[in-house]
């Protein structure tokens, strides 16, 4: 079974791709750390990543209620004067609109078909803005929180053992519940 965090992140990426076809959306994989700033070629774009568990509370012997937070980072090119990336202009949507209207509008109150609480928007902040060579861009992030119940693995549960013996009983006379013949097959064990 895939971890619920993986399912949430994947579903957020897919929801944003469907809702915002003009935005390249993917899971964050260190794009901002790329020394060649290749991410500038695909602007505007968005990246989704898990940030942290914000709260846990035990609600049973093996059940925990978790509150978690994801971040959606949105990057936009700066055309013209610096505020244009944030405010819009020069024929492009501003970063504020992309984050607060488009991304928030696509994700707010969504459960993404998963057993989680509806996504709730959190803090928004500027991550970075500046120049990379001759290119200028700005990146903002918006937090989305949710919660779910996690069932913890039982440490006392034992894995099913290997099959060593198979027994077969044959009833030749219909109607009596007596086995008329039996076979027992013992499987050879292999040592690693």
Q: Looking at residue 188, what is its pLDDT?
A: 72
Q: Is the peptide bond before 44 cis (omega within 30 degrees of 0)?
A: yes
> What is the separation of C-alpha 150 from the centre of its chain, rounded to a whole number of angstroms?
15
Tell me how far apart the alpha carbons of residues 150 and 5 are, in angstroms, rounded to a whole number: 11
Q: How many CB atoms lie within 10 A of CB 5?
A: 15
Q: Looking at residue 158, what is its pLDDT?
A: 64
Q: What is the pLDDT of residues 142-179, one digit of tens each?
A: 999 999 999 888 777 666 666 778 878 777 777 777 77
The pairing of strands 45-58 and 24-27 is parallel
Q: What is the pLDDT of residues 111-147, one digit of tens each?
A: 999 999 999 999 999 998 888 778 878 899 999 999 9
User: What mean pLDDT is predicted for residues 66-92?
Assistant: 74
Residue 165: burial class (beta carbons within 10 Å; 0-12, 13-18, 19+): exposed
Q: Domains in the chain, please, with CATH?
A: 4-151 (3.30.2000.10)
Give the end-to-end CA distance of the chain in Å, rounded to a whole number. 28
Tell me how far apart the alpha carbons of residues 90 and 92 are, in angstroms, rounded to a whole number: 6
- The answer to whether the pTM exceeds 0.85 is no
């Amino acid at each position: 079974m895939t971890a619920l965090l993986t399912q949430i992140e994947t579903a957020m990426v897919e929801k944003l791709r469907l809702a915002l076809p003009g935005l390249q959306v993917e899971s964050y994989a260190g794009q901002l750390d790329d020394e060649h700033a290749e991410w500038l070629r695909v602007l505007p774009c968005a990246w989704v990543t898990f940030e942290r568990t914000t709260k846990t509370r035990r609600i049973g012997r093996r059940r925990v209620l978790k509150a978690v937070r994801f971040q959606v980072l949105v990057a936009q090119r700066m055309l013209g004067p610096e505020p244009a990336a944030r405010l819009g202009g020069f024929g492009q949507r501003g970063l504020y609109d992309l984050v607060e209207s488009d991304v928030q509008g696509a994700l707010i109150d969504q459960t993404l078909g998963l057993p989680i609480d509806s996504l709730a928007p959190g803090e928004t902040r500027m991550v970075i803005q500046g120049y990379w060579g001759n290119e200028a861009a700005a990146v903002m992030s918006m937090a989305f929180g949710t919660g779910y119940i996690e069932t913890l693995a039982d440490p006392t549960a034992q894995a099913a053992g290997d099959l060593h013996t198979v027994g077969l009983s044959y009833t030749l006379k219909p109607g009596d519940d007596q086995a008329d013949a039996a076979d027992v097959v013992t499987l050879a064990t292999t040592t690693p």
